[in-house]
Amino acid sequence: MSYLLRDSYNSYGIYLNSSKAANTDLINYAMIDYENARGLVNQSYTLFDLLESNMTAAKSEEIEFFITKINTIIESKSADVEEFSRLVSVIENDLNEFNNIPARAVSYAVDSSLQVYYDNIDTSLNNAISSIQNGDYVAADKNVSAAYLDNYEYLEAPIEEVNSTLMQQIEINMRENLRALVKNQTSLADIEAYISNIKDDLEVSKQLLGSSNTEQQPNNSRNFTMPSSFVSNAANIDSLKQGFGIYTGERRSMGETSEDFKGQVRNNIDTIRVKLDEVVSLYSKNDSSQALATARSAYLDSYENIEIPLRPIDPDFTLDMEIKFAELRNLITSNAPPDQVVSKIVELKSGLDESERFVSGIGVVAPAIAFSSSFSIIFREGLEAALILGAILTYLEASRNEKYKKHVYAGVVFAIALTAVTWVIAEFIIEISGAQRELIEAIAGISAVAVLFWVSFWVLNKIETKKWIEFVKAKVWQATTTGSFMVFVLLSFFTVYREGFETVLFYQALFSFAKYMELYVLAGLIVGMAVIIAVVFIIRKLGKKLPLRVLFGLTMGVGAFMSITFLGNAIREFQELGWIPTTHLLGIIPRFDINVATMTGIHPTLETVLGQVILLAIYLAGSLYILFIQPRRQQVIASMRKSVRDKDKKEQKGG
Region label for 227, one of left (φ > 0), alpha (ψ between -120 and 50) or beta (otherwise): beta
pLDDT band at 217 (very low <50, low <70, confident <90, very high): very low
Of the two residues 57 and 277, the one the predictor is more confident about is: 277
pLDDT at 328: 95
513 with 587, same domain: the answer is yes
Contact 559, 459 (CB under 8 A): yes
| Domain annotation covers residue 510 | yes
Angstrom distance (rounded) from CA 273 to CA 604: 11
375 with 428, same domain: the answer is yes
Angstrom distance (rounded) from CA 490 to CA 486: 6
CA dihedral 22, 26, 31, 32 (to 10 degrees): -170
pLDDT at 552: 67
- Supply angle C-alpha 351, 353, 354, rounded to 5: 60
| Domain annotation covers residue 347 | yes
CA 88 centroid distance within chain:
52
CA 176 centroid distance within chain:
22
Contact 448, 509 (CB under 8 A): yes
pLDDT at 105: 39
3 state SS of 589: strand
264 with 349, same domain: the answer is yes
| Domain annotation covers residue 247 | no
Region label for 135, one of left (φ > 0), alpha (ψ between -120 and 50) or beta (otherwise): left
Lowest mean pLDDT across 75-84, 260-269, 433-442, 610-619: 433-442
pLDDT at 229: 38
3 state SS of 588: coil
Tens-place pLDDT, residues 503-537: 898 898 888 888 899 999 999 999 999 988 887 77
162 with 291, same domain: the answer is no
pLDDT band at 546 (very low <50, low <70, confident <90, very high): low
Angstrom distance (rounded) from CA 397 to CA 390: 11
pLDDT at 148: 93
293 with 326, same domain: the answer is yes
545 pLDDT above the threshold of 90: no
Of the two residues 184 and 10, the one the predictor is more confident about is: 184
Cβ count near 46 (within 10 Å) = 17
Measured in degrees and rounded to the nearest 5, phi and psi for residue 495 equal -60, -50
pLDDT at 452: 81
pLDDT at 56: 79
Q: What is the mean pLDDT of the chain?
A: 82
39 with 167, same domain: the answer is yes
Instruction: Choose from 156-170, 306-320, 400-414, 439-453 the range with maximum mean pLDDT.
Output: 306-320
| Domain annotation covers residue 21 | yes
pLDDT at 237: 84
Angstrom distance (rounded) from CA 134 to CA 125: 14
Please list the helix, strand and coil fractions of the chain in percent, rounded to the nearest 5, in that order. Answer: 80, 0, 20
State the DSSP code for 102. -
Burial class (CB within 10 angstroms; exposed 0-12, middle 13-18, buried 19+) of 483: exposed
Strand partners of residue 586: 589
Burial 277-309 (b: 16+ CB within 10 A, else e): bbbbebbeeeebeebbbbbbbbbbbbbbbbbbb
pLDDT at 53: 73
61 pLDDT above the threshold of 80: yes
386 with 266, same domain: the answer is no
Q: Which domain holds residue 117?
A: 2-213
Mean pLDDT of 199-206: 88
Nearest to 362 by CA among 594, 647, 94, 92: 594
Of the two residues 432 and 363, the one the predictor is more confident about is: 363
Contact 113, 175 (CB under 8 A): no
* Helix 485-513 / helix 518-542 crossing angle, nearest 10 deg: 150
Measured in degrees and rounded to the nearest 5, phi and psi for residue 586 equal -60, 130
CA 169 centroid distance within chain:
25
* Helix 405-432 / helix 365-398 crossing angle, nearest 10 deg: 150
Mean pLDDT of 466-475: 62
607 pLDDT above the threshold of 90: yes
Mean pLDDT of 142-170: 88
Nearest to 446 by CA among 574, 605, 588: 574
Nearest to 39 by CA among 204, 200, 206: 200
Of the two residues 114 and 215, the one the predictor is more confident about is: 114
Nearest to 254 by CA among 595, 596, 602, 597: 595
pLDDT at 332: 94
pLDDT at 188: 92
Contact 144, 136 (CB under 8 A): no
Nearest to 196 by CA among 128, 141, 112: 128
102 pLDDT above the threshold of 80: no
- C-alpha dist (Å) from residue 56 to 47, 60, 263, 533: 16, 6, 53, 80
Lowest mean pLDDT across 147-161, 227-241, 247-261: 227-241
418-425 LR contacts (CB < 8 Å, sep 24+): 418/497, 418/500, 419/496, 419/497, 419/500, 419/501, 419/503, 419/504, 422/500, 422/501, 422/504, 423/504, 423/507
Burial class (CB within 10 angstroms; exposed 0-12, middle 13-18, buried 19+) of 237: middle
Angstrom distance (rounded) from CA 362 to CA 246: 27
Mean pLDDT of 586-598: 89
| Domain annotation covers residue 243 | no
Cβ count near 248 (within 10 Å) = 11
Tallying the residues shown for the chain, one arrives at 655
pLDDT band at 574 (very low <50, low <70, confident <90, very high): very high
| Domain annotation covers residue 241 | no
Angstrom distance (rounded) from CA 626 to CA 461: 7
Q: What percent of the chain has pLDDT over 90?
A: 35
370 with 353, same domain: the answer is no
Strand partners of residue 589: 586
Instruction: Give counts: helices (H), strands (E), the chain.
Output: 26, 0
Angstrom distance (rounded) from CA 556 to CA 463: 9
399 with 524, same domain: the answer is yes
Mean pLDDT of 465-486: 65
Burial class (CB within 10 angstroms; exposed 0-12, middle 13-18, buried 19+) of 197: buried
pLDDT band at 603 (very low <50, low <70, confident <90, very high): very high
pLDDT at 99: 60
pLDDT band at 418 (very low <50, low <70, confident <90, very high): very high
170 with 310, same domain: the answer is no
Mean pLDDT of 364-376: 91
pLDDT band at 233 (very low <50, low <70, confident <90, very high): low
| Domain annotation covers residue 221 | no
Angstrom distance (rounded) from CA 90 to CA 63: 8
464 with 378, same domain: the answer is yes
Contact 390, 539 (CB under 8 A): yes
Of the two residues 532 and 321, the one the predictor is more confident about is: 321
Angstrom distance (rounded) from CA 291 to CA 653: 90
Contact 492, 409 (CB under 8 A): yes
| Domain annotation covers residue 558 | yes
Contact 49, 211 (CB under 8 A): no
Nearest to 208 by CA among 129, 107, 314: 107
pLDDT at 442: 84
Domain boundary among 154, 185, 213: 213
Angstrom distance (rounded) from CA 330 to CA 272: 18
635-641 LR contacts (CB < 8 Å, sep 24+): none
pLDDT at 488: 78
Of the two residues 349 and 481, the one the predictor is more confident about is: 349
Strand partners of residue 584: 605
Q: How many domains does the chain have?
A: 3
The dihedral through the CA atoms of 176, 178, 183, 184 has a sign that is positive
CATH number at residue 266: 1.20.120
Domain boundary among 213, 239, 270: 213
Mean pLDDT of 134-153: 92
353 with 378, same domain: the answer is no
pLDDT band at 91 (very low <50, low <70, confident <90, very high): confident
pLDDT at 655: 57
496 pLDDT above the threshold of 80: yes
Domain boundary among 190, 213, 236: 213
pLDDT at 498: 84
